[in-house]
């Protein structure tokens, strides 16, 4: 069997990470023959919750899960990781201005980018989930200059799925038949769904785009 890889998940005590961790630990992400060591990062006030997550992972006795490292320290969380799922981010609260949200997330993703740059493997693959995902990915990549920019991905799949679903509903076909929908801009009011290159079983959708 292969050597274990180290995988970090941030915001690991949150609901999204709670679902994600079990998918990773079961081998659904990296393969059923790839052992792994999970690094779980969250803020100090969430450590008691995170301890509960660690116990639940132990209860499952996943054959591929060799070790779980729960920590509030970025230097521990990002040490020698091959993959990083950056789920944790500051949520937008009622009455919060977008600039305040961005300022809070700059601090979070600056620290994580620096930790990736200093402690992670240089071929680490990084998936940014926390919104605004594109901006957060840009910040993280900026502070991890030794890691190739193509190794950073921002997960805006929800927006793409919504665009595909609307196109499919408009022309009355299954959503699986729609492809090549592009989402430009950030996860915000600046976003622009682009169907000008979209295709389906019925053919090119360029002529339909103006009607959407």
**Ranges assigned E (strand) in 156-196:** 182-184, 192-194
What angle do the packed helices 15-25 and 47-60 form, to 10 degrees?
30
Query: 3-class DSSP state for residue 162?
Result: helix
Residue 26 parent element (H or E)? none
Residue 37 near residue 68, CB atoms below 8 Å: yes
The answer to whether residue 39 is catalytic is no
Residue 82 near residue 124, CB atoms below 8 Å: yes
Catalytic residues, by residue number, are 187
């Amino acid at each position: 069997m292969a050597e274990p890889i180290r995988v970090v998940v941030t915001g690991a005590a949150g609901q999204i990470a709670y679902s994600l961790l079990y998918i990773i630990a079961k081998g659904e992400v990296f393969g059923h023959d790839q052992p792994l060591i999970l690094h779980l990062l969250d803020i100090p006030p969430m450590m008691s919750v995170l301890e509960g997550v660690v116990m639940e992972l132990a209860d499952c006795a996943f054959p591929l899960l060799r070790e779980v490292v729960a920590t509030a320290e970025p230097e521990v969380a990002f040490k020698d990781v091959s993959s990083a799922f950056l789920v944790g981010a500051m949520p937008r609260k009622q009455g919060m201005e977008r600039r305040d949200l961005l300022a809070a997330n700059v601090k979070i993703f600056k620290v994580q980018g620096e930790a990736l740059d200093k402690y992670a493997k240089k071929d680490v693959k990084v998936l940014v989930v926390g919104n605004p995902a594109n901006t957060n990915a840009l910040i993280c990549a900026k502070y991890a200059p030794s890691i190739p920019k193509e190794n950073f991905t921002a997960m805006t799949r929800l927006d793409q799925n919504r665009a595909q679903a609307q196109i499919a509903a408009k022309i009355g076909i299954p959503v699986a038949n729609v492809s090549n929908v592009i989402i430009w801009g950030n996860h915000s009011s600046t976003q622009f769904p682009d169907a000008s290159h979209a295709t389906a079983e019925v053919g090119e959708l360029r002529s339909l785009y103006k009607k959407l």
